[in-house]
Amino acid sequence: MPMPPLLDGAGRVALVTGAAGGIGGAAVALFQTCGARVAGFDRAAADGDLAVAGDATDEAQVEALVAQVIETFGRLDFVVHAVGAVGSGPLAGQSAQEWRRLVDLNLTSAFLLARGVHGALARSRGSLVLISSTNGRNGGTATSGAAYAVAKAGVANLVRYLAREWAPAGIRVNCISPGPVATPMLDRLTADEADTLRRSIPLGRYAGADEVAAAAGFLCSRHAASMTGACMNISGGLVLD
């Protein structure tokens, strides 16, 4: 008996935030390939059947985004939150303003989106996937900064909280915890820093954005129907479960 496709998106609707980024863009492409209609949200121009520009940390804009998706497509089944930004440097040099900016981008945006899509996902018994990071599991380093590590740890625990609270409504909430991913986010590193980071990964390579997107597709699929509250480790062995 042939295996069913990774994800059957026919008649389904996906929303991807951070859709202009490497992981977000790959998620948009994957959902479209699987037959879903896709809304992409980002400050920059994003792909999708519906492209919406906006700030994921702005409460009113997130609420308007969800309303626009429902008005346009009539439903919402899959949501992937891929908004994120790194910092750098030791905690002693971190300004309060930069701390708040990074926590808002990485964590508050996830809260706002989750709250905004709850009703729609309850109606479709849909799936929410949030992107955390190995930095949220191992404490991080000054390469990406304390605020990023703390916020990504918060994302993982938000997933655990929501998984339990939303299970009675049939909503599954899961998390992906990537290590270094070959996206423009790594362009901030010098050649020596990039080489050192790559050599620290047991498998000796960065993950591809398409690999992370495929994990999101799996978590949204019927193959993962019994998974909620999980955090998938895609780090090449940098973090071992």
Q: Where are the alpha helices (DSSP H) in 104-190?
A: 109-124, 135-138, 146-166
Query: Annotated catalytic, 206?
Result: no
Query: How many residues in total does the chain contain?
Result: 241
Phi and psi angles of residue 231, each rounded to the nearest 5 degrees, phi first: -130, 105
Tell which phi-psi region holds residue 101, choosing left (phi > 0), alpha (psi between -120 and 50) or beta: alpha
Taking a C-beta distance cutoff of 8 angstroms, is the pair 130, 82 a contact?
A: no
Taking a C-beta distance cutoff of 8 angstroms, is the pair 133, 231 a contact?
A: no
Other residues' Cβ atoms within 10 Å of the Cβ of residue 24: 30
Taking a C-beta distance cutoff of 8 angstroms, is the pair 16, 80 a contact?
A: yes
- Of 31, 73, 78, 148, catalytic: 148
- Give me 215's structure tokens: 């994990």
Helix (H, G, I), strand (E, B) or coil at 1: coil
Other residues' Cβ atoms within 10 Å of the Cβ of residue 125: 11
Phi and psi angles of residue 170, each rounded to the nearest 5 degrees, phi first: 80, 10
Q: Which amino acid is at 51?
A: A
Q: Which helix (H) or strand (E) holds 97?
A: helix 96-103
Active site residues per annotation: 148
